[in-house]
Amino acid sequence: MPAVTVLVDPDPAGHHLQAVANVARVAAETGPVVLLTLQGVKEWPSYEAYLGDLDFPLEVREVFDDRKMSSQAMIDAVADLRTELARTGGTVSTVALMDADQALKDWFWRGRRNRRRLFGPRVSGRVVLMLTRYPARARLTDPWLYKLKLPKALLTALALVTGAAQRVVGFAGRDDLSAGALVKRLRDPDVCEAHSRDRVALRERHGLPVDRRIVGVFGVISERRNVPLIWESMQAAGVDADLLLAGAQDDDVRAWVEATAAANPGRVHIFDAFLPNQLIDELVAASDVAPIALTNNGPSGIMGKAIAAGVPVVTAGSVVRAAEVKAAGCGVAAELTPASLGAAIKQVLASEGTWESRIPPATPEEFARNLLGVDADGRVSSTPFRA
């Protein structure tokens, strides 16, 4: 029986399940894949969207009763699976924690102490830790450098030196083609199944005005998206455009959205629900600009969709995204203030140039192979894979 790859993700919110599907597809080329995840996740709309109709086998086990599980709980779940597999001669070859930021805090000793429980006699098994909140770039004045990057780099070194983990990966900008030292670099895929060249048809399909400029905000519409700031920026700069909000709204912003829409009839277009990937792609491509005003210093999946769709991005709050738009020529970097954001949005809308990216596309296969550290033949490799 081929050895099993185990993907662990107790908190499959956002586009986690899309990343799981990408990694599982590559892992399935060499053997069975099992996902250990949250109880009830099969009822989520995102499960059906990303894992409901796969063209390869993936066994999904709902074993966690909370989205915030300890590293020991995750180890115990993998160990239980490994014991079950051993009864029929099966083994575990790779364990990949798909969101290991919290587990990293004590993995250097828990992972080492529990290696035999994870892999049995197969001491050559590999642990891959994926960090979703590790700033690949940070200025000396950036508080994220001291709050996140340096502590996580130290914990990563301990995990690798002790043998508790064999590979640690984290997101980097799509312009960053380096391998990475301690934390290996992953370019978030820039894939969109629609394009701005079809903007008029897409707007007609989804009931959007064809004669207005549209500023689009996508994903979960939470406080983190800074939607009131974006709207204030548009008003301050005199931007004559509509606002599109495409994604499920959190309660903390719904009241603002409803009040703003009521005060500005026909100017705010709302899709308040979990949106299938195809619909998000089409709404991104239907927009004239996609402002991303997030303070997390990392890349953005929505930015990747905009890049692929030829839609310009205005980014604020991230050194990584600022470097990416500069290298790709796919947008403008701004400061997280009304004056700067508004000026950048106005600049983009006034431009008549094209916004096609100058950097090589980041593919789901590249992302998955670099996460697992395997080449095109499925062999373990330290050389970054490029599609």
pLDDT digits (tens, 9 = 90+) for 162-174: 999 999 999 888 8
In this prediction, residues 52-73 reach a mean pLDDT of 94
Q: pLDDT value at position 143?
A: 60
Q: What is the pLDDT of residue 369?
A: 97
- Is the CB of residue 172 less than 8 Å from the CB of residue 320? yes
User: What is the token pair recorded at 6?
Assistant: 């185990």
- Check residue 177 and give its pLDDT: 84
Q: Output the six-digit token pair for 51.
A: 């894992």
Mean pLDDT across 205-232: 96
Q: What is the model's pTM?
A: 0.89
How crowded is the C-beta side of 359, counted as CA atoms within 13 Å?
Answer: 23
Cα separation of the two ends of the chain: 30
Mean of all residue pLDDT scores within the chain: 92
Q: Is the model's pLDDT at 141 over the cut of 70?
A: no
Helix 227-236 to helix 251-263 angle, to the nearest 10 degrees? Answer: 30
Question: Is the predicted pLDDT of residue 145 greater than 70, yes or no?
Answer: no
Distances (CA, A) of 351 to 265, 340, 343, 345: 27, 17, 12, 10
Q: Is the pLDDT of residue 93 over 90?
A: yes
Query: pLDDT for 302-331, tens place per residue?
Result: 999 999 999 999 999 888 889 889 988 999
Give the pLDDT mean for 70-92: 95
Q: How far apart are CA 96 and CA 131, in angstroms?
A: 11
pLDDT at 297 over 80: no
Condensed to tens digits (0 to 9), the pLDDT of residues 198-211 reads: 999 999 999 999 99
Across 93-102, 240-249, 293-302, 357-366, least confident range: 293-302
State yes or no: pLDDT of 298 exceeds 80. Answer: no
Using alpha carbons, list the distances in angstroms from residue 41 to 33, 45, 100, 185, 274: 17, 9, 19, 29, 14
